[in-house]
Structure 1
């Protein structure tokens, strides 16, 4: 499982010219699942994500989490995180199948929402994502599937 985490001042996602998710201060997160991922990886990364200390404290140090600042998450399903780029045209054979990935994305979002407010994109839809990266700060979180 892979997460591309961006600290944002605001972010939104549109499907068919309609905003389906929008946050202010918080994290916009691209979420991808590999072929062997399960709830174990989702559990681990949901805990890691809400505790990730990448917001500044009163001394200007990255020492606060999205939960600490009362921020929100905007989770965007992104199967292309598992693109294999051996040739010029990417292959997605390492990405989890959409039927299982949809359920795992929903599970991941629900686990995160136990700790912070969560907005999401729409799995399988063509989405337009708008964000103002704060910093910029971009972090990659990964958890290999337990095999």
Structure 2
């Protein structure tokens, strides 16, 4: 199995295969609109704008499993991201990232992150996973890792 065998739902409800992102570097993040880390949207958007032309795609997956900090509908989440952070990177339908109903993407990311970067869990909103252009998971970053702190790793695998 590869990350490219996984289907996801866009925030507007369409099914999308991650195979559509073959050849792109991915930064996959579980997001929330009412979290102390919500300003990470700004840094994620900045990374996307800075490196999109070189092959980076940020993928945001809203999740309401941490403190109920993403209670809105997909439409409300999209509107919030547009109005407050001018998000232009792809957003997806709200998912579970842990537990028995965890989306297969996050199960895959957790089990394919290499040591020493594998934690085996998603501890909070805004955990970030970096995936190279061949679909290999490179690193998992903690929720508190500022998006700008990931820029050097992104540049290294875009080269």
Whether the TM-score (by the shorter chain) exceeds 0.5 is no
Please give the TM-score of this superposition, normalised by the length of structure 1.
0.43
**Larger % of strand: which?**
1
**Larger radius of gyration between Structure 1 and Structure 2:** 1
Q: Which structure has more helix as a fraction of its residues?
A: 2
